[in-house]
Chain A
Amino acid sequence: MLGNLIQQTVNALTIGAIYALIALGYTMVYGVLRMINFAHGEMFMLGAYVAFLLLTMLIGDVGAAGAIALTAAFVVAIFVVGIIGVGIERVAYKPLRNSTRLAPMLSSLGVSLSLVTGIQILAGPQPVAFPSFFPSVRYEVLGGTVSSVQIGILVAAFALMFGLHFLVNRSRIGIIVRAVSESRPTAQLLGINVNGAISMVFFVGPLLGAAGGILYASYYGIMSPTMGAVIGLKAFTAAILGGIGSIPGAMLGAFILAFVEVGGTALLPVVTHGVLGTEYRDVLSFAILILVLLVRPAGILGEAVSEESIVYKREF
């Protein structure tokens, strides 16, 4: 029982850490642009594909890659995806910055569609086996099994999140990004480089998303062009749950969602005597999301924006 509990907790933490990396991208973009970036799930997918491509170019046989090659591929891939993210913002969202609020969202849908089909054309639509980035060793902890892959993912994800925390709260770039997020017009009046801040967000968000994608693909040992859609939606849900626009909120939401999912998978059939099977766990996640939004529309940690504010007028 205790072993099972530990194992499920570690499972939830692992998947939660991956959700958190992706949710951060959604929340940061929303913070500065008030825009839902539907193409963000594709950054997650691109991360895995770029890393795979780099490994193939580097050493031909992907399965035999050593630790140095893997680390190098990881670092280079996330930076490449970050740069792609900045490029996409320039081309597809920047021209729409003063347009209606719906326009950039729909443009991001176009980006998402183009990226998925682009990868399908280049790499084929079928799923591809992905190498593990960590040596696979299993440890017995109080009767539960914890794999080194999970520990590796947790360490990598928390290192990245700590890095982000430092960047946002302790660095000059972070101050600029937070200022723009607070109020774009005011930041502009104060002479802050708003475009620079937005580019920064579109660099860091996809970078974290790509890291999530590589970790996810190496956790499950597989990647596919459409992998971003479902996980993207989950991470987005997490961001909303925690309070979109809030960085700690995204992380909290991601872990809550992961625990609800893992707990739901384990408990739903037992609690309902088999009436609702594990397949209803996504219904549970969405139901919790809707309940939270109805009670607290700004999410758990989101700032309670006055609903009657100027922001919400003239959306379409």
Chain B
Amino acid sequence: MSAAGTLTATRPRSGRAVSFLFFAIALALIVATPFLPNYYVRVINSLLIYILLGIGLNIVIGYAGLLDLGFVAFYAVGAYSYALLASPQLDLHWPFLLILLVAACLGAVTGILLGIPVLRLRGDYLAIVTLGFGEIIRIIINNMDWLTGGPKGIARLDKASILGIQVARPIDFFWLLLVTVLVAGVLVWRLERSILGKAWAAIREDQDAARGIGINTTNAKLAAFATSATIGSIAGAIFAASQRFVSPESFTLQESVLIVLMIVIGGIGNILGIVAGAAILMLLPEVLREFAEWRILFLGLLMIFLIIVRPAGIVPRSFGPDKLIRRLFGK
């Protein structure tokens, strides 16, 4: 942290320019979105969903240092919560906010359920078990036709409404997602700086030493899994409400991997990095849409290139939101 800190301190001018650029782009995007055609609003919405997922997964990977390759399982739990509780499938039509709450609780429970067995595992083995867990959830969803509609998925989900205000157009979801991302971002950022966040950092750096100084690593890890799963599940519920259709197609291993990549390319352990990573991985294919399948090839090659050139990500870990604010207001 200190090394990177001095590095940026030696060239505050460029750092400040970058900060302003970052801020200006974000602000311009937010202001411009209501005037964009629906198609672009949808693209921005999916970008926001991925940022939300990134914020969630980053708790486990970036803060606690546990590689989770089955994150979509929680995303699926949230999405199917909405799909089952607000559709003709079971003929239930619960209000959106209540489902959000249920999804958050279910997410936390699934997170802890996954967390308990894998507490003993580390590194690659943890990655593999979480990967297997994600696949199991997907296969179960794919095959429980009577409940989840199997590969066909569940269609005709209810339109969401919050306290009587209908949330149906892409732009409505844009505001909903923006607020959710901001709230989640601030909460998680504060959480990282809390005593729990410091316990996570200790586990990440050296688990044995962390246990040695009296950190309850079991509880800290479970807390990481639960918080991350809650955010993933909420993202899933909002995703289902905005698509008004869910199917197992959206919850493949590739999706988990994409979120991990987003975090790593952007800058692991850093919320600003997630935004940058999501922007690259989500917006680039849109920008290059006219090149059809070549864009995926390009994306793959870019992935290799970025990881080789900047293995620690585009935004350094030390350059968090606090630095950005400090840069902006000239301290």
A positions within 8 Å CB-CB of B: 30, 34, 36, 38, 91-92, 95-96, 99-103, 106-107, 109-115, 117-118, 120-121, 125, 233, 236-237, 240, 244, 277, 279-280, 282-283, 286-287, 289-290, 293-294, 297, 307-308, 311-316
Contact = CB atoms under 8 A, between A and B. Distances in A.
B167 interface: no
A196 B91 CA distance: 64
Contacts of A109: 257, 261, 303
B128 A102 contact: no
B212 to A, nearest CB: 11
Contacts of A316: 61-62, 65, 67, 204, 268-269
A96 B307 contact: yes
Q: Which 5 A-B pairs have the closest CB atoms?
A: A110-B303, A114-B300, A113-B300, A110-B304, A286-B132
Interface in B113-134: 117, 120-125, 127-129, 132-133
A50 to B, nearest CB: 18
B294 interface: yes
B9 interface: no
Contact of A280 (B117, B127, B143, B311): B143
A121 B62 contact: no
B307 A315 contact: no
Given A106-B264, A117-B294, A307-B122, 11 more contacts: A100-B312, A103-B264, A106-B307, A114-B300, A283-B136, A286-B136, A289-B128, A290-B132, A293-B129, A294-B121, A316-B62
A90 to B, nearest CB: 12
Contacts of B307: 96, 103, 106-107, 110
B208 A308 contact: yes
Most buried by A among B117, B120, B128, B139: B128
A107 B293 contact: no
Nearest to A108: B304
Nearest to A115: B300
Nearest to B118: A294
B4 interface: no
Contact of B120 (A125, A289, A297, A312): A297
B140 interface: yes
Contact of B140 (A237, A283, A313): A283
Contacts of A117: 293-294, 296-297, 300
A162 B248 CA distance: 41
B311 A100 contact: yes
B303 A283 contact: no
Contacts of A100: 311-312
A297 B125 contact: yes
Nearest to B295: A117
8 contacts: A38-B257, A109-B257, A109-B261, A111-B300, A121-B293, A244-B124, A290-B133, A294-B121
A114 B297 contact: yes
Contact of A106 (B121, B129, B142, B303): B303
Contacts of B311: 96, 99-100, 103
Given A96-B308, A290-B129, A294-B117, A313 B206 contact: yes
